[in-house]
Chain A
Amino acid sequence: MSDRNNKIPFDEDNYTHNINRNNERMLDRRGFMKTLAGAAGVFAVSTLPWGAVAAKELMGLGDKEYPHQKIADLKDVKVGDSVKFHFPSENDSAILIRLSENKYVAYQNACTHLRCPVYWVKDEQEMICPCHHGKFDASTGAPTAGPPRRPLPGIEVEVKDEAIYAVRVKRYEA
């Protein structure tokens, strides 16, 4: 027991195990640095699309100005009524609500939960999503009940010459 550490474990008849062979170490210091530099390249390339989209957003559709679109004539919308329309494109359904004599609000009415169309319930003064009973506050677009968590994107409206126009989609405020 006492000289247990003093023994050579096996007969050593060759000395090749400590020969320093070429490329023996797969990931040495240099290889590691090469990997790091490569990873930096991957990161650089992967941010390119984000930069490109951001640049496009900055130049082209900076404030997302769409051609003004007439929604309805003033006389056709009574207080408490709502009108469906499409803005900014054919496929973005939206809803206009006249809350009071001079207060108009408009939202893109695809529910922020799973994009069901939200509609206006006059009696309850609330916007309701039929799919899972999400509810939205009509004056702000903020969700008040049900699964939706984000507000409906607002649309800026303008009253001009006895008609209501959709001007732009408001910036999404998180």
Chain B
Amino acid sequence: MKRSYVGVLILAAILMMNIVFTQLVVHQYYYENYGVTLLYAGLNILLFPVALFVYKNEKNKGGSKGYEK
């Protein structure tokens, strides 16, 4: 069974976005654009359920052995 790295890649991308959004939140906060701060903070929080969803879906996709499924 070929293992699937799609989940790993998606999760890594999500983490990347997390980092970017966190940075934007902090910067926008200091620039006093509070609306934008809220937007990015919201996006950052939304990413967590998405990450969980991806994990749940992908964790059993393709181990090195078929019977591990």
Chain A positions within 8 Å of B, measured between CB atoms, are 29-30, 32-34, 36-37, 39-41, 43-44, 46-48, 50-51, 53-55, 57-58, 171-172, 174
Contacts and interface: CB of A to CB of B under 8 A. Distances in A.
Contacts of A54: 29, 34-35, 37-38, 41
13 contacts: A30-B63, A33-B7, A33-B58, A33-B59, A36-B15, A41-B48, A43-B21, A43-B47, A44-B18, A47-B45, A50-B26, A54-B34, A58-B35
B45 A48 contact: yes
Contacts of A47: 21-22, 25, 40-41, 44-45
A51 B51 contact: no
Interface string B11-46: 110110011011001100111101101101110110
B26 A33 contact: no
Contacts of A50: 25-26, 29, 37, 41
A122 B5 CA distance: 71
